[in-house]
Structure 1
């Protein structure tokens, strides 16, 4: 029986995953089945406490959970504001993909070495999901994902999540190479 109001935030990866009674590798419990929907209710470093639909909870390596998209924000029927126009962000996404493709072509043709390829693509970020009339775009300039319904944008998620007041934690991802961040 499902817990009332249960809404999954993640699913278990396709291979399933081990679980623990506490955030301690010495206290294993029953592993979680592949694609099991769970709610991530607490984080402690890489550990994540998940709640299952039947009310059972366990600790897992939270890095391997697969996020479930939540319903996108609704947009009002007001006039289109220039800042909410999705076209500039779509144009930036097209340029980023074009720049990456050109770098890959040069690298594959032998015109770029590995180090030159890394230097040319360093800092290049792109994220696009198109699903029918809906699109989710990563806005690298503002560190956020936005949702568009074809006419306007609304912020969907940001790189910086909420921070616990008692215990600060790192919530954004940073790519580190041998040359530095």
Structure 2
């Protein structure tokens, strides 16, 4: 991210993309950049408290997690961990260590889980050393933390995304409803 204002619309990342296109790559290309990502982990874990609660799960429940590093022009700019209840992820591409054409949002929509209500919480903090190293940050450089909870029309939460972003510029989210 540069020092300029980066304006994005969260709905871009919440809209199914038939045909396998990548929202991040398209958004970066529209600004003259190159957005890529690398999948670093797919597995079942014991849900952290910050994930179990929003998913309505017991504190000792397992979830499926997909961790990725997002790049802009080959620079790491975001670490993303997407968490799913096991009963949704098991037996699907969400539980496999491979790219999902159109992203998880497209697969989830095909499974009947379209975002109806999305809650995003934003915070700024100093990163742990491993995060600082992964994002190539200097000592004392803060990160922006965005936690997104997606719920289906029946109110069931089906995904908790935790994004840790380089805070090199200003970011403004804009959401259009309807």
Q: Which TM-score applies when normalising by structure 2?
A: 0.23
- The structure that has the greater radius of gyration is 1
Greater relative CO (CA pairs within 8 A, separation 6+): 2
Q: Which TM-score applies when normalising by structure 1?
A: 0.22
